[in-house]
Structure 1
Amino acid sequence: MNTECKPEQLEFQSLGRREVIGRFDGGRITSDGGGLLLREVDQRIGLLDRLAACFTDHRNPESIEHSVRDLVAQRVYGLALPLIEWAPII
């Protein structure tokens, strides 16, 4: 059974004053667009907040510079972006 789920473009939340649109008519190219997709998923479903809530922070609150959410976000983006950036185009 064939399905036809090919939107011509995806609209993301703007980045500052710039409009961000994902289009699929560029041929075989790669970009850092996966990071924007990950950000959009995070903002829509609260992905990083939900992941951060899985951890109990036993650190001294007076010594904390970065929240658990910030540390989780850094780790997730650090793991995901190289994979997205270098993923082969099929």
Structure 2
Amino acid sequence: MKRTVPLLIVLMVNVPVVKAADTMIFPAKNGNITFNHKHHTDLLKECKNCHDKTPGRIANFGKDYAHKTCKGCHEVRGTGPTRCGLCHRK
């Protein structure tokens, strides 16, 4: 028991609480959006580019967020989909 508690503390500090799936699918009326989270994390390296404060669920995530933040980032960087049919797939 004396060794168990310190071991659990070390594990809790060094293991991320939540790990997002490599690929996520967001349902939408005009076609589902497939989002490659791993590609974006490998490319951007900084969670704060998309997430409010810490990794995890994005507050106010939805159509307006995606159209402003995701599409806006793609336009600024000159890469990634910026037209409806490139994200929304039936």
Q: TM-score range by the shorter chain?
A: under 0.3
TM-score by length of 1: 0.28
TM-score by length of 2: 0.28
